[in-house]
Structure 1
């Protein structure tokens, strides 16, 4: 649903695509305990599939919103603040879910609470958020004029698939996203297995070690976002240079440090330190690679994000499968091979990004060739 979601967000605005996705997710979440308690496990699998179906358009729709609301001079900091919200969700979800189960003595409560909060968010979001400044009833005329000057008159364009897919900057973005998602899924999904099976850590220590760095990542993302805007606005460095530096840090940092951690033997303290520093070094990913979509396009930001993020999340299928094949016996040597493969993937994709990345709006984003007849344009 990444690509359909991106197309819909660009055509009709990110407001409804995002809000309906969250609303559907909230409904599925709230009914999950009833499915588990009253139906077969097959229906639980169906509900998980539908949950992914509903949530897939979220990144493209968020990007479509940012493209029409965030000025270039604030792109790194505000883009990082929004995108890194996932880290806040992970930390609070892990922490408060455990506390709620302990306090109420049952597990269904966490589905009701988080689902209920999403229903509340839906109402608040519809009142406060609109797809474009021109349709927002509450902002001032001065704000609307400033944003219109920044982004131009809102029009509906035909997606220039051919020229977009021939652009090397697009493929550089997709490649780097693939490499980042590879190390991300390895860390989030499979590192707990390494801690458990190789370092013999208990469940409580494992949960703490794997959740705490997400808070540090959030802090690092926003700090580097502010720093990026400051440097770019002072004209000390080009946008593309800033994106490349941050993307390289968030790719080479975790892939190298996590690899080195496997050569620390059973020294769990050193392994955890390398793991944490590697996770924190992923912070510049948001003001680097993630907001680069907004540099390249305004009118097709949802589609471009759906291509990059949609291809990237395929690593969520590939990485666990690869780990299961390579680290079949969960030995230290086998895990080292897993992290060497990860290091190579991250290095190659990062080199591709360094060579072909761009920080300039692409010609296909506003070319007269893709502007429809006047009667098809809209405010």
Structure 2
């Protein structure tokens, strides 16, 4: 029995530890982002906590408060991607998490002394610092994950976002409804962020070559499958902005992010005001669709790599199929949800789970397509898509602010759901038309896959050992 456990731990490699830290980074970061949508309900509802001394605020600008995170989120992503590509992602991630965690811990004080404006400033600072997260994650994945493991390992890291939602909403709902009150949910996540910094400082690295404890065999396994000298290359801006394959991903991000952020930010309010769930139930049911999404992300990654490595599907075919299921099925569920009476509780919950959960398949579709096109500039591509996508995603909560004037009005929410469904279908249709999955000429990387038999045999030997 002891030998079995030892052999299982021996199979864990340094690249797996890096993926784990990226998973935890996104779990904590996204958890901080979404817990505010649950905490905000408690911050403005005097019946939310068991403690009557918990401060409650009379704010009528909830949607603007929810969107404040994204004011800073898009600002520095492209700069962050370029800096982390040249100087390494580790130090930037540690610094960004430190600022992010401090701003999170300060929200209760900001609310008490500066009101809604103070909370907006704190959330904008959090968004500004979290703008370093995803571009740096993609840079690290591009350096650490070989093509043969790209979908499953990339999906495992990106699943942290969904897991952050799964844990963030019920944890915040539980803390907010307890005697401790909503302020401790911010202290909780701030502490998690500082603990992540300590762990990653000692166990993380930007590239395999800079990790002090990686074995020569694992380093060879990774580096033999790809040539990562991108820090020496200038970003080919003209080639990128004239690439139809890049614009396909860009449009997919805009459409998916707009719809997803609308649901992510506004779902707790919808479930509270229309479906009449209390704080604790609201948090648990709000998290259920994201549990489904997390499972879909893991399954999609492993299934995609299996189908590709067994030659059942080409990479391009896999990206198309998983992107289709991640967009068209959720869009259909949103349309159905928009016309269901609110007293059809079970069916409404099922539609919400489908609408959100199936979007997890995009992790094996367009979300990983950046690395297919350009391993050297994957972080830059992600930064462009994510920053611009988040700018457009602000329109979601702001649209709710102007359209949903009565939060209990089902007809007004229907407009929001139909708009989100339309964004999914249109953006995915454009992606399916113009996407590619081969390395583009402007990547300037040679010998991504060595075709001579000696190199194939060498990779086979390394693969069997690693």
Q: Secondary structure at the residue paired with 1:281? A: helix
- The Cα of 1:30 is off from its aligned counterpart by 2.7
CA distance in 2: counterparts of 1:210 and 1:94, whole angstroms:
7
Equivalent positions of 1:314-353 (< 5 A) are 314-329=391-406, 331-353=409-431
- The Cα of 1:40 is off from its aligned counterpart by 5.2
The residue aligned with 1:226 is: 302
Q: Secondary structure at the residue paired with 2:365? A: helix
- Preserved CA contact (<8 Å) 1:183 1:254: no
* Residues 1:355 and 1:100: Cα distance change in structure 2 (over 3 Å): same
- The Cα of 1:173 is off from its aligned counterpart by 0.2
Range 207-216 or range 173-182, more displaced: 207-216
CA distance in 2: counterparts of 1:254 and 1:24, whole angstroms:
35
Equivalent positions of 1:59-70 (< 5 A) are 59-70=134-145
Gaps of 5+ in 1: 369-379
- Preserved CA contact (<8 Å) 1:10 1:302: yes
- The Cα of 1:81 is off from its aligned counterpart by 0.8
- Report the TM-score, using the length of structure 2 for normalisation: 0.74
Structure showing greater relative contact order (alpha-carbon pairs closer than 8 Å, 6 or more residues apart):
1
Range 315-324 or range 174-183, more displaced: 315-324
- The Cα of 1:201 is off from its aligned counterpart by 4.2
C-alpha root-mean-square deviation of aligned residues, in Å?
A: 2.1
Is 1:287 aligned to 2:364, yes or no?
yes
- The Cα of 1:153 is off from its aligned counterpart by 5.2
- The Cα of 1:288 is off from its aligned counterpart by 1.4
* Residues 1:319 and 1:270: Cα distance change in structure 2 (over 3 Å): same
Gaps of 5+ in 2: 1-75, 447-466
Equivalent positions of 1:71-90 (< 5 A) are 71-90=146-165
Q: Secondary structure at the residue paired with 1:139? A: coil
The residue aligned with 2:374 is: 297
The residue aligned with 2:390 is: 313
- The Cα of 1:38 is off from its aligned counterpart by 4.4
- Preserved CA contact (<8 Å) 1:10 1:301: no
| Corresponding pairs, count | 368
Which among 269, 276, 285 is matched to residue 346 of structure 2?
Answer: 269
CA distance in 2: counterparts of 1:367 and 1:161, whole angstroms:
16
- Preserved CA contact (<8 Å) 1:178 1:349: yes
Which among 332, 351, 375 is matched to residue 256 of structure 1?
Answer: 332
- Report the TM-score, using the length of structure 1 for normalisation: 0.90
Range 13-22 or range 352-361, more displaced: 13-22
* Residues 1:196 and 1:153: Cα distance change in structure 2 (over 3 Å): closer
- The Cα of 1:212 is off from its aligned counterpart by 1.5
CA distance in 2: counterparts of 1:188 and 1:272, whole angstroms:
15
The residue aligned with 1:6 is: 81
The residue aligned with 1:361 is: 439
Range 173-182 or range 317-326, more displaced: 317-326
CA distance in 2: counterparts of 1:281 and 1:18, whole angstroms:
29
Range 36-45 or range 248-257, more displaced: 36-45
The residue aligned with 1:238 is: 314
- Preserved CA contact (<8 Å) 2:138 2:382: yes
Is 1:125 aligned to 2:200, yes or no?
yes
- Preserved CA contact (<8 Å) 2:369 2:437: yes
Equivalent positions of 1:96-135 (< 5 A) are 96-100=171-175, 105-135=180-210
CA distance in 2: counterparts of 1:168 and 1:56, whole angstroms:
25
- Preserved CA contact (<8 Å) 2:333 2:354: yes
The residue aligned with 1:93 is: 168
- The Cα of 1:332 is off from its aligned counterpart by 3.5
The residue aligned with 2:455 is: none
- The Cα of 1:64 is off from its aligned counterpart by 0.3
